[in-house]
Structure 1
Amino acid sequence: MKTIYNSIRDEVVKHSKVKNSVLGNVNEWKRSHYIILSEIIKDELSEAEELKGGKKFEIGNTISHVTLQRFFENDYQDKTHNDLRFLKTLDKICIFLGYKDLNAYIQFVKEKKQEKENDSDHAFLTKMVYDYCATVFEFYKNFPNHKTELFKELVFDGSPFLERASQFSKELCDRDFQLVTKNNRSNYEVFDINILTDGPDKKVLESQEFWNLLFKVGETGEEHFVNQLNTQIYFIRKINNVWKIWDNYNPDAGRLNKKI
């Protein structure tokens, strides 16, 4: 409730009627400023649809400057949870802010918080896929050195994905494959990343990827091209409170190995 309490105070300060009044030019409010705030709130509440009818007589449509000053200057205390007068004051302030009542404001804050968490999760997972693809490209650039340790921060050791990818890539390194990067000859692009499954300890992501790679073989100079546009699926797990890639479905995995 303390978070809600502080959030309401912030919202009042940001309210257009408050910002566009003399209060918007004052950093520290005094008694006279709370009198002005009380009048601003009274004017708004007098027109509020939520207070037309019986609710106006239930909670009133004014807030004294003394109550407002106490609300802004005193720290939140748990005992105010059970103070009916205080809750009615919060109801009126929330109506002033454009909400039906305090409960509606609390619900709004919860939904907003959930949206932020979802956005944060999506950004984190999307970055993981981008980072993985960048690491794959760096991995190829090191051929014929087989540096699977590059994946340590992104892919779980002992995962089926790492074992499978390591096997395919080791065959290419053993054949002395080298990636050609001069003049941007080899490149890749990742786009349209979507979350398919969003569980507490397992996420499934889908990405569209384009890989355009040119490999040359050791002394012979034999060229092998990879030109693939496909949909890949990433299975990401949380183990010991750490999120990493556990498996991947790539319809073109190992295709170059089969050609040679």
Structure 2
Amino acid sequence: MKTIYNAIREEVVRHPKVKNSVLGNVNEWKRSHYIILSEIIKEELSEAEELKGGKKFEIGNTISHVTLQRFFENDYQDKTHNDLRFLKTLDKICIFLGHKDLNAYILSNKETRISNEQDDRTFLTKIVYDYCATVFEFYKKFPAHHPELFKDLVFNDSPFLERATHFSKELCDRDFKLVTKNNRSNYEVFDIRIVTDEPEKKILESQEFWNLLFKVGETGEEHFVNQLNTQIYFIRKIDNTWKIWDNYNPDAGRLNNKK
């Protein structure tokens, strides 16, 4: 409930009628500002459909500046949400915000949060899928070396890109070529899950199967990759951009060790 309490306060501040009033230009509200807020809410509630019937007499259509000041300046307490007068105040504020009542606001807030979580998961898993697809395209260009393919997915100054560039350049110098005829080389990514979910950092774990065949230059020497492993992706947010910062692959560099 504390989260809802704080969210309601933030939404009141962002409400167009509040933001476009004198209150929108003030960082710290005083008594006079809560009087103005009370009048803004009163004006909106007087036109609210939700208060056209008997509910107007049940909960009223005004909120005093004293109540509003207490609501904004006092920290939430568990005992507060059992206070009927306080719940009626929240009902009116939620109606002011465009909802039927407090319950409707809570439901909407929950649905928005779930939707955002689903969007975040889709976005993050797409980074992993896109990265693996790019790796495969990167291999298909061997022995030409094009690490720039990763610029939209991996941070340029990341330790991961430095390692991957070093390993792959060595293979290109040895004239490795990926065999793709008849789908001879392929990969699959599955079971991606979010291990750590922080505002500026996400850690994802994936199960990956890589089945690759490389041939070396004119000799035709064959090198196989046939592995199922768990990889860890460290994804960071820098300058408001999400990209891969590092990766743990237990089989990284295996081909480089085969001479």
TM-score range, shorter chain: 0.5 to 0.7
Match of 1:49 in 2: none
1:82 CA displacement: 3.0
Partner Cα separation in structure 1 for residue 149 and residue 253 of structure 2: 20
Structure 2 match to 1:178: 177
* Corresponding residue for residue 214 of structure 1: 213
What are the Cα deviations for residues 194-249 of structure 1, in whole angstroms up to 9, with x where unaligned?
00011111000000000000000010011100001000000000111111000000
Q: In the alignment, is residue 143 of structure 1 matched against residue 124 of structure 2?
A: no
Contact 2:236 2:243 in 1 (8 A): yes
**Change beyond 3 A, Cα 1:89–1:186:** closer
Cα shift readout 1:104-147 (whole Å, capped 9, x = no counterpart): 22211111111111001000000000000000000000000110
Task: Determine helix, strand or coil for the equivalent of 1:220.
Answer: coil
- Matches of 1:247 and 1:88 in 2, distance apart? 46
User: What is the aligned partner in structure 1 of residue 197 from structure 2?
Assistant: 198
**1:166 offset after TM fit, Å?**
0.7
Runs (4 or more) in structure 1 with deviation over 4 Å come to 66-71, 83-86
Q: Secondary structure at the match of 1:128?
A: helix
Seen in structure 2, the aligned counterparts of structure 1 residues 89 and 183 have a Cα distance that, compared at 3 Å, is: closer
Tell me, yes or no, if structure 1 residue 82 matches structure 2 residue 81.
Answer: no
Identity across aligned pairs (percent)?
A: 65
Residues 81, 212 of structure 1: alpha-carbon distance in 2 compared, 3 angstrom cutoff: farther
Q: Which residue is 2:76 aligned to?
A: none
Q: Aligned AA for 1:217?
A: V
Residue aligned with 1:82, SS: coil
Gaps of 5+ in 1: 5-65, 72-79, 95-100
Q: How does 1:158-173 map to 2 (within 5 A)?
A: 158-173=157-172
Conserved? CA contact 2:194–2:203, under 8 Å: yes
Residues 246-257 of structure 1: pairs in structure 2 closer than 5 A: 246-257=245-256
1:97-108 map, 5 Å: 102-108=101-107
Tell me by how many angstroms 1:103 deviates: 2.2
Cα distance, 1:190 vs. partner?
0.3
* Coordinate RMSD, CA, aligned: 2.9
Q: TM-score, normalization: structure 2?
A: 0.64
Match of 1:235 in 2: 234
Distance 2:48 2:182 in 1: 70
Q: Give the direction of change, closer, same or farther, for the CA distance of 1:112–1:158 in structure 2 (3 Å limit).
A: same
Q: Secondary structure at the match of 1:154?
A: coil
Q: Give the Å deviation of 1:69.
A: 9.0
Q: CA deviation at 1:258?
A: 1.0
Give the corresponding residue for 2:131.
Answer: 132
Q: CA deviation at 1:256?
A: 1.1
Q: How many residue pairs are counted as aligned between the two chains?
A: 182
In 1: Cα distance, 2:223 partner to 2:62 partner: 71
Amino acid at match of 2:63: N
Counterparts of 1:195 and 1:113, CA distance in 2: 20
Give the SS at the match of 1:129: helix
* SS of residue paired to 2:154: coil
Q: What amino acid is aligned across from residue 125 of structure 1 in structure 2?
A: L
| Cα distance in 2 between the residues matched to 1:69 and 1:103 | 12
SS in 1 for 2:188: strand
Distance 2:94 2:161 in 1: 59
Report the TM-score, using the length of structure 1 for normalisation.
0.64
Q: Is the 8 A contact 2:185 2:211 kept in 1?
A: yes
Structure 2 residues not aligned, in runs of 5+: 1-7, 13-46, 53-60, 65-87
How far apart are the structure 1 equivalents of 2:93 and 2:199? Answer: 38
